[in-house]
Structure 1
Amino acid sequence: MLIGDLSWPQAMVESVAILSLALVVCVAIWQVFRTGQTAIKKESGRHDDLRKDVDELKGLVERPAA
């Protein structure tokens, strides 16, 4: 069934339903990518903190004993 074959009220309802479904799908996809991006940023921060700790420990180990 084509939207062009429907009466204009039916066509409007069908069009709004299709657009609503498309909007819901877009929002769901957006949320998935934003959640992934947030997780990546958190992991990056953890790696930076770990790198600082490793560098600090290396500095303590490599410091000549007095």
Structure 2
Amino acid sequence: MQIWKVKKLVQGLTEDRVKLIQELEKYRNVLSPFLINVLQTNIDQWETEIHDWQEEINKIEAGKESF
């Protein structure tokens, strides 16, 4: 996968995560505790994936700079 595609994917995932956090905060009082837990778990998983992808992007870009 090309680096620009990965960056775009990470950007989209980050934006989706932010939207989900905003919606969760907005409706927290009317959601069941189970659903809140599921959504929070998804948010946490996305954070991990975003971090992992960002590390890969940094490695690739560092490799390009060394040439």
Tell me the TM-score normalized by structure 1: 0.54
Listed one character per residue, the Cα deviations across residues 16-63 of structure 1 (whole Å, up to 9, x for unaligned) are 00000000000100000000000100000001xxxxxxxxxxxxxxxx
Could you list the runs of 4 or more consecutive aligned residues of structure 1 that deviate by over 4 angstroms after TM superposition? Answer: none
Larger radius of gyration: 1
CA RMSD of aligned residues (A): 1.1
Higher relative contact order (CA 8 A, sep 6+): 2
Instruction: Give the % identical residues.
Output: 5
User: Across the two proteins, how many residue pairs are aligned to each other?
Assistant: 37
Tell me the TM-score normalized by structure 2: 0.53
* Alpha-carbon separation, structure 2, partners of 1:20 and 1:41: 31
